[in-house]
Amino acid sequence: MTPEELDHIIAGSEGEQVEFKPSLLSRRELAEYAVGLGNSGGGWLFTGISDRPPRRILAFDWPSEDDLQRIRASIYDAARIRVDFVRVDHPDGLVLAMRIPGRPRGLVFHTQDGKYLIRLDEGLRGMTLPELDAIRREAGGELSAQPATGTWNDLIRPAGMEALRELMHEAGAPRDLVGLSDPDLLHALGLLDADNRLSVAGLLLVGRSEAIQSRIPHAHWSFFRMTGDTDYDQVERGSDCLTVALRRLRELIATDNPIITIKGDLVHGEFPRYPQLALRELLVNALAHRDFEVPGGVVLKQFPDRIELSNPGAFPADITPENILHHPSTPRYPALFAALARVRLANAANLGVPRAFRDLLAEGKEPPVYSTTGQTVTVTVKGQEATPEFIRLVRQHPDLTVDDLLVLHYLTRHREISANEAARICQRPLDSTREILARLATRDRLLETGGPTGRGRYHRLSRQACEELGESLAYHVDSRLSRENAKGRVLDALRHGPLSNAQIREITQMGRFQVSRLMDTLKQEGLVQMQGSRRGARWLLSGEQKL
């Protein structure tokens, strides 16, 4: 680069291809700019020029040739980008120019710690999932549909095929599939093409570890048995195909997954702390829907009181923790997903997440909780014992949906629920949620409705439901089995003197708004009256002397 060319660039403006810095950046920052400028088509980063106009050349500590070599190596290690340094001898001083190549077609530059950056105006920002997907589609096909290099029977792992058949039996795959030979089964699942080439989806599903690592280096998993929030006493890692990884992770969880027996009318049911179907669905989702093109692996941490399962990459498309329960299935890798769907380990109607929810809720347990950082997706499952009363309630009402179970489970922990709160936990529109609540009240007689119409309307467990759930409720059933019971206790207490709202809440074990409704009712019936205001307000029986 000549001084005249540099003058022309300085006279322009910073854009997607140019960045000016007065001094040498840290190696981490240089790697990030290499990623951002490279994803924007490549460009230059100049050191020794003020970054605000009017720009001028500044003196800075010039690195030695050894330093430049180390910087090049560091950027390559951090981002797999080969940069060049050019010295520009300008009359006003020396300028160091770093030439950054544009990304190859179909590939996205990123740092090894998972930062996908792009140049925007004069800064860097993280890339969105649609931007990443658009770039990957440039390669002319999604990853799992591409052929793997090598002979198919040298690539597959016998233990992977064995684990696949076990899962097919467990999931109830079609009988015509189960009895097929290995090559015929792989053809039927779309994992072998007409030329007997194994796809990457087949490699991920039943391939050998060394072949997987050669083609998809980020396809690995880790297991930690945690003794606390930061300490663990067991760790295991693997680069296995999905079927073998799933089997091994389930075995590891099973060593600390105690089972309780609950008596039934004819048979006694056995209920592990973490239900098997829920675990299978969540593990398949993590292993199959992770982003194989970003750094990191699937990580399962088993704490004394919970399991945390995380996988690299953001949610596909517009899925969020707030809509995942009913969102249409959006597979990141359609070829892999199609094979899993064929053996009933996945479903195009997005039944996997609802199945996990139902398996937990039907035993009276908390549903899974999803969260995301934008770089990873995590699902947390609490370690809980099955609740006999809730199990019996579900058996007596076999038509209950996942939405119904979410509402009923919420009401075992809270006294009442509004339509808005129900819509939030069910991830449903408000109109649909009102239909759910109405059905639970009229058809199943498990809810009763109170309060005025409109925003003050609330729903609570019916007397029948409370009696069926009994000891499983997280609050005193007796205090709310009957509104008349609460009235009687308040009136009896008022015979001994005036009461504040706080005292009434303590007597009835009701919430602030419930007490307000109760006392308004008693007032309308002419049984009580209020004296004073705000903190000095007291309720007393009508006809008594005022304070």
Q: Identify whether 479 is part of a domain.
A: no
| Residue pLDDT, tens place only, 366-408 | 999 999 987 899 999 999 999 999 999 999 999 999 999 999 9
| Residue pLDDT, tens place only, 171-211 | 888 888 888 999 999 999 999 998 999 999 999 999 999 99
- Using the structure block, give the residue that is written with the tokens 């692996």: 297
Q: Per 3-state DSSP, what percentage of the chain is helix, strand, and coil (rounded to 5)?
A: 40, 20, 40
pLDDT on residue 509: 67
Q: How many domains does the chain have?
A: 4
Burial grade of 193 (CB within 10 A; 0-12, 13-18, 19 or more): middle
| Same domain, residue pair 219 and 325 | yes
CATH number, residue 348:
3.30.565.60
Which range marks the domain in which residue 340 is found?
141-377
| Same domain, residue pair 350 and 435 | no
Last residue of a domain, one of 377, 410, 428: 377
pLDDT exceeds 80 at position 443: yes
| Same domain, residue pair 118 and 218 | no
| Same domain, residue pair 426 and 322 | no
> How many whole angstroms separate alpha carbon 278 and alpha carbon 280?
5
pLDDT exceeds 80 at position 16: no
| Same domain, residue pair 121 and 177 | no
> How many whole angstroms separate alpha carbon 340 and alpha carbon 55?
58
Q: Identify whether 481 is part of a domain.
A: no
| Same domain, residue pair 306 and 344 | yes
pLDDT on residue 137: 67
| pTM across the whole model | 0.67
CATH number, residue 111:
3.30.950.30
- The contacts of residue 433 (CB under 8 Å, 6+ apart) are 403, 419, 422, 423, 426
> How many whole angstroms separate alpha carbon 343 and alpha carbon 380?
26
Last residue of a domain, one of 137, 172, 191: 137
Q: Identify whether 193 is part of a domain.
A: yes
Q: Identify whether 41 is part of a domain.
A: yes
| Same domain, residue pair 133 and 145 | no
Q: Identify whether 126 is part of a domain.
A: yes
Q: Is the dihedral of CA 405, 407, 408, 409 positive or negative?
A: positive
Question: What H or E segment, with its residue span, contains residue 260?
Answer: strand 259-262
Last residue of a domain, one of 137, 161, 181: 137
pLDDT exceeds 50 at position 480: no
> How many whole angstroms separate alpha carbon 200 and alpha carbon 142?
10
| Same domain, residue pair 109 and 149 | no
pLDDT on residue 141: 65
| Same domain, residue pair 279 and 231 | yes
Q: Identify whether 288 is part of a domain.
A: yes
| Same domain, residue pair 155 and 303 | yes
| Same domain, residue pair 452 and 521 | no
CATH number, residue 426:
1.10.10.10
